[in-house]
Amino acid sequence: MNKMEIVIISGFLGSGKTSLIANIINEQKDKKIAILMNELGGFNVDSKILGTDTPYSEILNGCICCDLKSDVEVQLNDLYYKHHPDMVIIEATGVAHPIEIYDACTAPSLLKFATVNQIATIVDSIRFLNRDQYSITTKRLMEEQIQYANTLILNKMDLIDSVQYEALKIALDDINDKAKRIETTYGKVDASFLNITGHLEKSHQHHHHGIQSMVYTFNGAIDARQFVNWLMQLEDSVLRVKGYIKFRENPEQTVLFQYAYGIPQYEEEMMNYPLKLVIIGEQLDKNKLMNQLDQLQFS
């Protein structure tokens, strides 16, 4: 069964994300696309731009990369079982961080029918060139939205001159010289950049800059102390670990485990979910991690 593709559209405030999505929908008429739109406020004006023919859901009053991550899991399940789209495009808020959005899309319950195809960041070319006028935190966010993208869509190119164009290329090369780049105005692009056929996944293996993930399946309970020791020696490149596990000290109890920024969280689960662990990070040494988890499982 082909999995539902998830495409994350990232980009700073006012960069043109909604216009880009509207153009993609118009171009990809042979694909069934659904939209999940996130808005910090309680009303989403941009949703009206997308029309009524496209399956649509929204998450309001917060950012999915912060306090509404669990809502993403619920909404993606709902979109899949109600509409069975080929693809869901997530339009994040302008202040969302790509790592957090990616993390929200890799909940264990989604693994069986959905996969993140790519992160596309739309860049407001003139605003990005003037990013030094913002706070250090905002500037870092703008740069990290670019850093973790598979595709960079350079929008509003009609507003910059040749000198600014060269400065833009140099700046992007310093942050992310591996991502595919598309230059445009008004978010008008050839939607083939989505690479729905899987070409992106193939080329993504050569992108050593972006976010990667792997899934490990346990056959049974593992030793809790050995698991903690494994966590303590994880490399900094591992950004997230989450999933369902059981410990030999209480082998009947399923535990929802989450790990971020060096802090583990354990929560007892009533349901007997499959024992799968999702690991997210940069430049993951997947063979090494697989061997370590094998040792946990079989020791």
What domains can be seen in the chain, in order of their start residue?
A: 4-204 (3.40.50.300), 211-298 (3.30.1220.10)
Q: Give the pLDDT band (50/70/90) at residue 37.
A: confident
What's the rounded mean pLDDT across residues 28-48? 69
| Distance, CA of 163 to CA of 255 (rounded, Å) | 56
Q: How far apart are the first and last CA of the chain?
A: 35
Choose the most confident range, by mean pLDDT, from 18-27, 150-159, 182-191.
150-159
Place of tokens 């979910």: 273
| Distance, CA of 107 to CA of 278 (rounded, Å) | 8
Mind listing the pLDDT tens digit for each residue in 221-266?
A: 999 999 999 999 998 778 778 888 999 999 999 998 888 757 888 9
Q: Give the pLDDT band (50/70/90) at residue 52.
A: low
pLDDT of 199 reads 31
| Distance, CA of 286 to CA of 275 (rounded, Å) | 18
46 pLDDT above the threshold of 60: no
What's the rounded mean pLDDT across residues 120-125? 94
User: pLDDT exceeding 70 applies to what percent of the chain?
Assistant: 85
pLDDT of 43 reads 41
On whether the pTM is more than 0.75, the answer is no
136 pLDDT above the threshold of 50: yes
Q: Give alpha helix (H) positions in 37-187.
A: 69-83, 98-104, 125-129, 136-147, 162-175
197 pLDDT above the threshold of 70: no
Taken in order 241, 242, 243, 244, is the CA torsion positive or negative? Answer: positive
Mind listing the pLDDT tens digit for each residue in 255-291?
A: 988 887 578 889 898 888 889 888 877 678 889 999 9
209 pLDDT above the threshold of 50: no
List CB contacts of 209: < 8 A, sequence separation 6 or more: 147, 148, 176, 178, 179, 282
Tokens of 198: 């899987």
pLDDT of 205 reads 33
| Distance, CA of 257 to CA of 230 (rounded, Å) | 14
Q: Give the pLDDT band (50/70/90) at residue 44.
A: very low
Q: Give the pLDDT band (50/70/90) at residue 45.
A: very low
Q: Give the pLDDT band (50/70/90) at residue 65.
A: low
What's the rounded mean pLDDT across residues 121-132? 93
| Distance, CA of 82 to CA of 76 (rounded, Å) | 10
Q: Give the pLDDT band (50/70/90) at residue 90.
A: very high
Q: Are 150 and 158 in contact (CB under 8 A)?
A: no
pLDDT of 299 reads 84
Q: Which residues of 53-75 are buried (b: 16+ CB within 10 A; e: fewer)?
A: ebbbbbbeebbbbeebbebbbeb
pLDDT of 71 reads 84
Mean pLDDT of the chain: 83
**What Rg, from alpha-carbon coordinates, does the chain have?**
20
Q: Are 175 and 113 in contact (CB under 8 A)?
A: no
80 pLDDT above the threshold of 60: yes
Place of tokens 């941009």: 46
Q: Give the pLDDT band (50/70/90) at residue 173.
A: very high
200 pLDDT above the threshold of 50: no
